[in-house]
Amino acid sequence: MAQNHDATEAFRGRSVVSTADFSKDEILALLDAARAFDRYHDGPVWTPQPPELQGRVLGTLFFEASTRTRLSFESAMLRLGGSVLGFADARISSLSKGESLVDTIKVVEGYCDAIVLRHPREGAARLAAETAHIPVINGGDGSNQHPTQTFLDLYTIREAAGRLDGLKVGFMGDLRYGRTVHSLTEALMHFDVDLKFIGPENLSLPQELREHLAAHGRSGVEVEHLQDAGDLDVLYMTRIQAERFPDPMDYERVRHAYRVDRAALEPFGEKLKILHPLPRVNEVAHDVDDLPGALYFRQSRNGVIVRMALLHLILGGALPGRGDA
């Protein structure tokens, strides 16, 4: 297993706030570390022995609802032998009594060794990371960043396609407000990837992301309909949220136009990998689930693997089974 030692060391004790904070080497080091934890590729997630993080505590502060992110972080920490504490609803935290985020972080850092934070305000994770003396991992800050989602997306694409370079990746749905689209696009700019964006005009890419792509000599093909996207290796679906549309009629029109089913995906062949950060509403029909390229539940499972690797790199020691993994 190839390991870039410096890049691996770069994670130790570090906060994870934004995808942009990580170099290509660091991202690849994390994906390689995750592969070492993915021992039973087609089976249950491995529980390493001896428990590497026994006695360590992860605080999970979720000021906003989450299922996958919170549970997969908790699962990852428990499988590494550590413990978790925290809350899943801001209403039961001191925030409901008017406590500031900064005060909450200063208190909670006394209770644990690292914090996972989800917060409705953009920039909350950066502020928490500046405040805390322990690592803070961003579990989603408003519409801004969700870096561990991006890492598990990259892991899943590389696992399924065998590579990241040379792929044609299409994003479909809410390109404007979908933080997963923005974070993954930014990370994919490290690789030789053709980017395509498929979505309604009123949910098209933010101008600043377009400019960011152009400033790095990259461009993405933007089309309104999937059939105009040309060949694709990966289709990354996102949910279009009703609240983005002032007129409910507009939402109804769009949500049916940006739904894929088995028939719509047939022209792309069996090689097409279909990803979705979940939860889905109706944008991916259930008849797609049985396609070999339907990877969204694999993504959820990989979320545990990648978060185990991340916690290991931030809090732990040597890689598990180094030399025989």
Partner 1 sequence: MTQPSDFQLTAGTVIDHLPVGTAARALQLLGLPREGPITVGINVPSPRHGRKDIVRVEGLFLEKRESDRLALLGPNVSVSIVRDGAVAEKTVLDVPERLRGILTCPNPTCITNEEPVSSSFVRLGAFPYSFRCTYCERITRSADL
Q: Which residues sit at the interface with partner 1, rule CB under 8 A?
A: 18, 20, 100-102, 119-124, 126-127, 141-145, 208
Helices 124-131 and 101-108 cross at an angle (nearest 10°) of 50
Q: Indicate the residue among 55 and 98 with the shorter CB distance to partner 1.
A: 98
Record the tokens describing residue 162, joined without a space. Answer: 């065998």
Residue type for position 91:
R
Question: Where is 303: in which H helix or E strand?
Answer: helix 296-315
Distance of closest approach, residue 100 Cβ to partner 1, in angstroms: 6
- The answer to whether the peptide bond before residue 120 is cis (omega within 30 degrees of 0) is no
Nearest-approach distance from CB 153 to partner 1, in angstroms: 19
Q: Which is nearer to partner 1, 76 or 127 (CB)?
A: 127
Closest approach, Cβ 22 to partner 1, in A, equals 14
Nearer to partner 1, 145 or 148 (CB): 145
Instruction: At 293, list the tokens.
Output: 């390229």
User: How distant is the alpha carbon of residue 32 from its chain centre?
Assistant: 16
Q: What is the DSSP string of 190-220?
A: TS--EEEEE--GGGPPPHHHHHHHHHTT--E
Residue number with CB closer to partner 1 (6 or 122): 122
Nearer to partner 1, 87 or 177 (CB): 177
The secondary structure of residue 53, as a DSSP letter, is T
The one-letter amino acid at 201? E
Q: Quote the least distance from Cβ 197 to partner 1, whole Å.
A: 19
To partner 1, the closest distance from the beta carbon of 218 in angstroms equals: 17
- The residue (of 144 and 300) whose beta carbon lies closer to partner 1 is 144
Tokens of 192: 């030789």
Closest CA to 91 of 67, 62, 117, 115: 62
Closest to 271 in 3D by CA, of 233, 242, 297: 233
Q: Give the shortest CB-265-to-partner 1 separation in angstroms.
A: 33
